[in-house]
Amino acid sequence: MLWSQFFSEARDSYRLYDHDVDWDALKQESRFRRVRKTASALFWAMLLKLSPARRVFLLIALVLGILSLTTSTATVNNVQVRSPEISPLVPMAMLIFLLALELSDRVIMKRDLEIAREIQRWLVPDTAPCVPGIEIAFSSQPANTVGGDYYDAFPLDCDRPPAKDNPLLLVVADVAGKSVPAALLMATFHASLRSVACASDSLTAIVTRMNRYACAHSLEGRRFTTAFFAEYDPSTRMLTYVRAGHNEPYLVRASGQFERLSEGDLPLGIDPKAPYLCTEITLETGDLLLIYTDGLVEAVNEQEEEFGEQRVIDLLKAAPREPAERTLQRLLSSAHAFTGSRRQYDDLTAFVVRAT
């Protein structure tokens, strides 16, 4: 287990430096020169990740390490004199000191990220609301300490609990990018959604206004957001939804019939004038709806195989009429068993709705 984790971390570190190597140019070299230049390119890629002062410190340590392995003699007045030897402990101590500096930076960054993760957890619900006619369960697992996935479930009239005259808004979103930049945009998405929902009288108005806000902060479309918005009316069991470039949710009817909620439009943040249309479906007793982000189907194992849509579909079709939380846990357990110790590169969010 430890070796598997070590190799997984080593592979991740290699990918960090791999982006700085011009592999196309190295393909033109002979085998020996390619190996030598690859090692040199990876070394310089690692060196450039350090601060200027630490680069110089590391180079001095390496030079002293090489000198500690060699000795030289000179003849003075017919007497051979050996040059003073450098103890290997000196460059070793310098490398340990440099490692301590890097670890200190990592610990400080980790602490800040842990605080950011706690704040991010406050932005999403930790328990599902109690809604007549449906059960809800959700989970979100960032690939790094913080992530760009978002989910929420709250009544349109925030001052009252969900009821037959107070529809519930369901949202799952995926901000383009990962880690801190995506997490910051996710926080702004949360803040704007809450204010927009309170000031809008329809689902279409909510999505349209969210799109305009996203376009104003998308860095010319580079920071777009895919999202799935749905409004559930407990009095009619009607689910009205808008799919803004998001993965198609899966709907398994109580009869076993499988459907995809494929009607959709552009992601948020692409076109401020994009029209968004609503689609309506009715949830009958026993129906199962899964809303998810692409981190679920794109999770990979040690053999670079993706978990894939078919495994998700097969699991949902085989799911008995069980609570939504049980279905969610079976889905996540299956995905984790498939990936094993392989580190994932995308956030994973799953949102399960079971009609009761």
Give pLDDT tens digits for 68-97: 877 555 555 555 555 557 788 888 999 999
Which residues neighbour 176 within 8 Å (Cβ) at sequence distance 6 or greater? 148, 182, 222, 223, 224, 225, 226
Given a cut of 80, whether residue 104 has pLDDT beyond it is yes
Q: pLDDT for 239-285, tens place per residue?
A: 999 999 999 999 999 988 999 999 988 999 988 899 999 999 999 99
Structure tokens at 31: 């085998």
Are 169 and 155 spatial neighbours (Cβ–Cβ below 8 Å)?
Answer: yes
The region of weakest confidence among 133-147, 170-184, 303-317 is: 170-184
Q: What percent of the chain is predicted at pLDDT more than 70?
A: 88
Arithmetic mean of pLDDT, 233-237: 91
Given a cut of 70, whether residue 219 has pLDDT beyond it is no
Question: pLDDT band at 10, cuts 50/70/90?
Answer: low
Given a cut of 80, whether residue 232 has pLDDT beyond it is yes
pLDDT at 3 (0 to 100): 62
Q: Is 76 exposed, middle or buried (0-12, 13-18, 19+ CB in 10 A)?
A: exposed
pLDDT at 14 (0 to 100): 64
Question: pLDDT band at 293, cuts 50/70/90?
Answer: very high
Distance linking the first and last C-alpha atoms of the chain: 42
Q: pLDDT for 16-29, tens place per residue?
A: 667 667 767 777 77
Question: pLDDT band at 103, cuts 50/70/90?
Answer: confident
Given a cut of 70, whether residue 12 has pLDDT beyond it is no
Which residues neighbour 170 within 8 Å (Cβ) at sequence distance 6 or greater? 136, 152, 153, 228, 229, 230, 231, 232, 291, 351, 353
How distant, in Å, are the alpha carbons of 68, 116, 203, 335 from that of 152? 61, 18, 15, 22
Amino acid in the structure at residue 97: F
Structure tokens at 48: 């450039």
> CATH top-level class for 129-355?
alpha beta
Q: What percent of the chain is predicted at pLDDT more than 90?
A: 35
Are 293 and 299 spatial neighbours (Cβ–Cβ below 8 Å)?
Answer: no
Arithmetic mean of pLDDT, 328-352: 90
Are 261 and 248 spatial neighbours (Cβ–Cβ below 8 Å)?
Answer: yes
Task: Please provide the average confidence, as pLDDT, over all residues in the chain.
Answer: 84
Structure tokens at 295: 């981190």
Nearest by Cα to 287 from 349, 229, 232, 329:
232
Q: Which spans in the chain are helix H?
A: 2-18, 23-26, 31-48, 52-68, 89-123, 179-199, 203-216, 294-297, 308-318, 324-339
Nearest by Cα to 261 from 228, 295, 297, 306:
228
pLDDT at 7 (0 to 100): 64
Which residues neighbour 67 within 8 Å (Cβ) at sequence distance 6 or greater? 86
Q: 170 - beta bridge partners? A: 153, 230
Task: Tell me the DSSP string of 317-332.
Answer: HH--S--HHHHHHHHH
In the chain, where are the structural domains located? 2-71+84-117, 129-355
Given a cut of 90, whether residue 353 has pLDDT beyond it is yes
Is the CA virtual torsion 19, 20, 24, 27 positive or negative?
negative
pLDDT at 245 (0 to 100): 92
pLDDT at 117 (0 to 100): 77
Arithmetic mean of pLDDT, 305-318: 91
More confident residue, 144 or 56: 56
Given a cut of 60, whether residue 57 has pLDDT beyond it is yes
